[in-house]
Homo-oligomer: A and B are copies of this chain.
Amino acid sequence: MMRKRAITLKDIAQQLGLNKSTVSRALRDHPDVSRKTKDEVKSLAQKLKYKPNAVASSLRHKKSNVIGLLVPQISYFFLPSVIQGIEEVVHKNGYNLLILQSNESYEREVENLDILIANNVEGILASVSRETKDFSHFKDVIEMDVPIVFYDRVVKDLDTDLVLLDDTSAAYNAVLHLIDKGKKRIAICTGNTNLLISRNRLEGFKMAHKNRGISFFEEYIVSSEWPEEAKSKTMSLLELPEPPDAIFAISDLNLSGVMQAIYAKNLVVPKDISVVAFCEEPFRNMYHPSITAIQPKGMEIGRTSAEILFQRIKTSLYTESDPRVIYLDGDLVIGGST
């Protein structure tokens, strides 16, 4: 790579007849350097368009100023909001984000974690892939004392901070809302049961039924990982001899599939069927009537998990305060779909 060699401290030092260490200190306003030297150094640096080499600096003092972000998939509605929130906090703290996608693959998750470590990240924000059942790769990281905070799709029993929605009670409230609107045959389109999130949301669904003393139907519980799957499974639901009078979609992905099925069957929401979902605000409103939805609060989850991470990074790790588990409330916003 015969790239034009970049300007280094040494270049500046030579041109001014100084030592590179002096130049380094001058640029960082170290008190040991005289005003005059500082001025000379700085103006020459500017003239030569000197750009410090973060890699070298990082190697020396093991501060990379980079936070690693592990996401299952960037696409769709929820994660961009989370990233937005994280980015805000990370930038505020003068750090950058190295974002790696597992694409829901366990192997890539492991690989990505290695990459983050190799790049000297000072902390990690992670949401696990659907496939992941074994968490030893995270344990390794924890043993290296790289702080890690899980968001949204968390891992329990790992002695780390967690930031997540209070899924069970949010789902509980949503389903309660449906029941109290008089719905008797509520279906749920849940997700991969590897994920705690899916199990918790289903749990809320069941609790609401139990609490109101009505029973739910096993055949109304379907699970899906992609919109297409959600669509076809919803189609089947709607073709049952006794189709549901309400559907609860536990993610925006599932919601989009559910709605496509409803459109395909020419059903009118909420007259023929009610819909409730976990769904971010801007997207809830894309539907007409708008969807009654639990706000997954992506932005807030992102912000909070990043804040927590920086607390770990900044207070010496060895103060070892207990791991924090932060539950955010997923508010139910009533739309026209119920």
User: Which residue numbers of A lie inside 8 Å of B, CB to CB?
Assistant: 1-4, 6, 49, 51-56, 58-59, 62-64, 73-76, 79-81, 83-84, 87, 96-101, 114-115, 117-120, 122, 140, 143-146, 227, 256, 259-260, 263, 282-283, 285-288, 316-318
Closest B residue, CB atoms, query A88: B103
The answer to whether A4 and B144 touch (CB under 8 A), given A58-B55, A287-B286, is yes
Measured in the bound complex, the distance between the Cα atoms of B64 and A228 in whole Å is 39
- Supposing A84-B75, A263-B288 touch, asked if A146 and B56 sit within 8 A by C-beta, the answer is no
- The answer to whether A59 and B62 touch (CB under 8 A), given A2-B318, A51-B117, A117-B51, is no
Cα-based distance from A177 to B96 in the complex (angstroms): 45
Q: A115, B96: Cβ atoms under 8 Å?
A: yes
List the B side residues contacting A6 at CB < 8 Å.
Answer: 117, 144
Q: How far is the CA of A283 from the CA of B117 in the complex (A)?
A: 36
Cross-chain pairs A/B with CB under 8 angstroms, 11 sampled: A1-B62, A4-B143, A49-B140, A52-B118, A54-B119, A54-B120, A55-B119, A55-B120, A75-B80, A99-B99, A256-B286
Please indicate the chain B residues that have their CB under 8 angstroms from the CB of A81 in the complex. 75
A144 touches B3 (CB 8 A): yes
Q: Looking across the interface, which residue of chain B has its beta carbon closest to that of A120?
A: B55
